[in-house]
Structure 1
Amino acid sequence: MTIGAAIFSAIAMAVTVTTPTTRGIASPILTVARAEEANPQGVLRGQLDGLTRQIDDLRAALRETRSQSRTLSQERIRLDQEILRSELSVERSGRVIQSLEEEISVLEREIGASEAEIAGQREVVAALLRAIAVSDESFLLSTIFSGGTLADLTDQFEAAARIERELLARIADLRELEAEAGERKLALEEQRTNEETARQLLVVARDDLLVKRELRLQFLAETQGREQNFANQITATEANATRIRTQLYLLADIGKALSFGEAFAVAKPISDAVGVRPAFLLAVLQKESRLGALSGTGFWRTDMHPRDWPAFLTITQELGLDPDQAPISRKPSYGWGGAMGPAQFLPATWLAYRDRVVALTGNNPPSPWNVQDAFAAAAIKLAAGGANERTPSAEWRAAMIYFAGGNWKNPAYAFYGDAVEDLSAAFQAQINILEGR
């Protein structure tokens, strides 16, 4: 055996010993561990699916209840259904968080294993580089002093070439491992963001549940379990249309209070033009303002994603506004802020709807902080999501798309569609009174 062949043989043994795992072949211990990890995830997934089915059934039951005549017993059933649905939403949010924590734990272990494998591959690459240096030196010495044959020289060349090929293969493996580790780290960050979002949604779901329970207690106190008291309550409400018109309607970032009557007056012609119910449009905008507790308190350089800066500066320049003074939502504990006005549009989304808003309102340029323009943009977006079908299921889906975009099917976000549907029903009852229906 020549010197070069001997070196290659030794390095091949070193590679076999120092490589932590054989790529493509699962370790028996790791396989068992992953099988054990998969079981809790499967249980959690089953629990989440079960809760989702229960919430879907309750949503359908609520729609049926709302379609029936208002009686004391029906109203009590409706409130109980809303409370139970909110309780299940809170429970589901907790399960989502638990599931995400499990996934994060698995990813962290996989990243640790990847980093160990990368370290091993780096050691192999270093050993191969040293082997090439030794091989080159040995080849030169043997050529000068050994007086070997042409066959010996050929053998030396082949040994060196094999080492170089092995080196290139190991470098390729190392790069692949590093890319996979990078992808896992990105997935880990995404899951951590999802977990934080789920925790925020859990807080919102709990708050919604508390409101529902308080409404039920108030309802029972006012009716005292008597049908006549409930009938009197309905009559008193219907007689007080003035109170409905003047009650405060919350909107984000408009710099003034708006009454429900004023909001309805803006929403009605826009809704008629795009085919979306005014009650539904007002419910979405109200929910956006209530969720946007951080609205108007952000600064674009720190709270807005840099990718949105050019669009934001285009909008403020068109409107002649100082970008440092334009109100936007502050960055929450997860993700980015930067949403603008009552409809809470991000800058790029606003520019995408700009021309359609101009065609509807005639305001050019339109402003996300203008009530009419914001209502128009929201109505157009909701209609694009299917709200112009004017059915409960279509409106629920449109609200979910408005809130979560491509992730609208995620059950963790269902509380938003449910809350909009509840609010829309309440607003419709008030609109019916205002219109004498």
Structure 2
Amino acid sequence: MGSSLITKNNYHWSLGIITVLMTVILVFPAVIGAQESNGTVDRETLTRQLEALEREAEAIDKTIQSVQAEARTLKNDLKLLDNQIRQRELEIRRLTLVIRQTETDIVKKSVTIKELIKEISVSQRELAGSVRELAARSDDNLVEIMLSNDNLSDFFGALNSLESLQKKIQETLDGLRERKIKLEKEKAELEEFREEQQQAKAIQEVDKRGLGQKRLERDQLLKLTQGKESLFQELLKKKKTDIAAIRNQLFYLEKTGITAEEALKYARLAADRVGIRVAFLLALLEVETGRQFENGQITVGSNLGTGNWKTDMYDCYVNLGRRTTAEKQKAAFFQITGELGLDPDKMPVSRKPNYGCGGAMGPAQFIPTTWLLFNGRVAEIVGRSIASPWVVEDSFTAAGLFLADSGAKSKTKTGEIAAARTYISGRPNCPASGSARYACISYANRVYSLSQDIERAI
């Protein structure tokens, strides 16, 4: 029985431990209010619509491949353009559904977070009440407790009551820990949903521009040929590398400061060195630049970015609870700038978007840890002791190596689609479900489709 007796010192010891635990556990991040949404569509309905569009896209893609395999005639070129226009319209519709689906996920996740915060608030109040009660009881020593009870049965009942109170406090603390862990997990998933939605919106903007460009191309073809096959065949004979057409295809690269001539020059060097198609490398760099541009991470005239490693990368990851990632990226960034003899505080990186983090470097937008996977091979290929992600030739070569390693060396549609998917998602197959899947599919399709257009121009 002696081991179960609770002395006054034990009370104060317990109270001290509980106070420390409360200080640690009850400091929660700022409350996230649930977003309001009107007319949220059922997620399963959106998923079925997306699956239907995916089947339609596959049918259009087969038609495009069939037409491309045939001889070039005015009729076939117009048919190809019509199907490519339909393909882009479909991609835009699909991304609209993805954005709506992600909004549904965001609303549901926000509601879950709001409910968790309410539960935590209730537990905090319960814990505070229990601690106050324990503090009040701890002022009595064992003799006082014994004298305040008429018999031993009441005395031991009082002791058991105190032990039950301590047990209740411990259980409440355990529950708070579990809810805090769950809250952090839910918040991280909410951030992922918001990032996915932002990515889908950026890719959709790239697709919208591609749609407008494809419609203009069809109108110009009809204008130049006047609908006559003979004039079309004359155009084919005269056609060489069309820098004007390439300039139209490389809208984002030019907008951010790399000329079409410069892009073509270094893409040819890089593609020949690593064994992939020039047009595919250019298309990937154009779509990736467009995605970053529409995300607000890079701006007009600044393909290198206008962000800072600390605020846009390191602090961003820390604020998202991803300190390990923050430290890895910081260490890699400092290694890169240190080897190049550069001041890390003066080297530009991509800005932090509305959701997610910045920190990507140079024209090909490599994050620091990924760049370190290729910098040695790049230096060897370009003939320099140290490669730099901020140099166009080096960054294009690194992007080429990444794509070659990911399947583009096959120069087949399957291999190139896998490479584009790996570039955006880190895997040759897009995620099995969710909005990230469709954003990944649209990205890879846009890259491959654009590569075909660039191929015709060069």
Q: TM-score range by the shorter chain?
A: 0.7 to 0.9
Query: When the two structures are superposed, what TM-score results if normalisation uses the length of structure 2?
Result: 0.75
| Contact kept in structure 2, 1:125 and 1:167, CA below 8 Å | yes
| Contact kept in structure 1, 2:417 and 2:444, CA below 8 Å | yes
Look up the match of 1:349.
370
Look up the match of 2:264.
263
Code of the residue aligned with 1:417 in structure 2: it is A
Look up the match of 1:216.
218
Q: CA RMSD in A?
A: 3.2
- Give, in whole Å, the separation in 2 of the partners of 1:162 and 1:256: 71
| Contact kept in structure 2, 1:280 and 1:421, CA below 8 Å | yes
Look up the match of 1:363.
384
How many correspondences in the alignment?
A: 389
| Contact kept in structure 2, 1:253 and 1:369, CA below 8 Å | no
CA 1:268/1:69 → structure 2, altered by over 3 Å: closer, same or farther? same
SS of alignment partner, residue 377 of structure 1: helix
CA 1:332/1:164 → structure 2, altered by over 3 Å: closer, same or farther? closer
How far is the alpha carbon of 1:381 from its aligned partner? 0.2
Code of the residue aligned with 2:46 in structure 1: it is L
Look up the match of 1:383.
404
Which runs of structure 2 are paired with 1:44-123 in the superposition (5 Å)?
Answer: 44-123=46-125
- Give, in whole Å, the separation in 1 of the partners of 2:133 and 2:355: 50
CA 1:43/1:290 → structure 2, altered by over 3 Å: closer, same or farther? closer
Look up the match of 1:186.
188
- Give, in whole Å, the separation in 1 of the partners of 2:224 and 2:440: 33
- Give, in whole Å, the separation in 2 of the partners of 1:341 and 1:314: 16
Which runs of structure 2 are paired with 1:390-401 in the superposition (5 Å)?
Answer: 390-401=411-422
- Give, in whole Å, the separation in 2 of the partners of 1:113 and 1:340: 40
How far is the alpha carbon of 1:79 from its aligned partner? 0.9
Stretches of structure 1 that go unaligned for 5 or more consecutive residues are: 1-36, 432-437
Which runs of structure 2 are paired with 1:203-282 in the superposition (5 Å)?
Answer: 203-237=205-239, 240-241=240-241, 244=243, 251=253, 257=259, 259=261, 263-264=264-265, 266-268=266-268, 270-282=270-282
How far is the alpha carbon of 1:89 from its aligned partner? 1.2
| Contact kept in structure 1, 2:203 and 2:291, CA below 8 Å | no
- Give, in whole Å, the separation in 1 of the partners of 2:215 and 2:246: 23
CA 1:43/1:140 → structure 2, altered by over 3 Å: closer, same or farther? farther
SS of alignment partner, residue 380 of structure 1: helix
User: 399, 424, 427: which one pairs with 2:451?
Assistant: 424
Per-residue CA deviations over 1:67-124 (Å, capped at 9, x if unaligned) read: 2221222211211111111111111111111111112221222222222222222233
Look up the match of 1:4.
none
Per-residue CA deviations over 1:224-281 (Å, capped at 9, x if unaligned) read: 32222221221221xx45x559975775799774627x835x5456434433122322
| Contact kept in structure 2, 1:142 and 1:148, CA below 8 Å | no
Moved more, 385-394 or 324-333: 324-333
Code of the residue aligned with 2:274 in structure 1: it is V
Per-residue CA deviations over 1:28-79 (Å, capped at 9, x if unaligned) read: xxxxxxxxx9981111111122222222332333223222221222211211
Code of the residue aligned with 1:96 in structure 2: it is V
Code of the residue aligned with 1:210 in structure 2: it is G
- Give, in whole Å, the separation in 2 of the partners of 1:373 and 1:180: 43
| Structure whose alpha-carbon radius of gyration is higher | 1
Code of the residue aligned with 2:367 in structure 1: it is L
How far is the alpha carbon of 1:143 from its aligned partner? 0.7
How far is the alpha carbon of 1:416 from its aligned partner? 2.7
Stretches of structure 2 that go unaligned for 5 or more consecutive residues are: 1-38, 315-325, 432-436
Look up the match of 1:143.
146
- Give, in whole Å, the separation in 2 of the partners of 1:340 and 1:236: 40
Code of the residue aligned with 1:48 in structure 2: it is L
How far is the alpha carbon of 1:420 from its aligned partner? 2.2
| Contact kept in structure 1, 2:307 and 2:358, CA below 8 Å | no
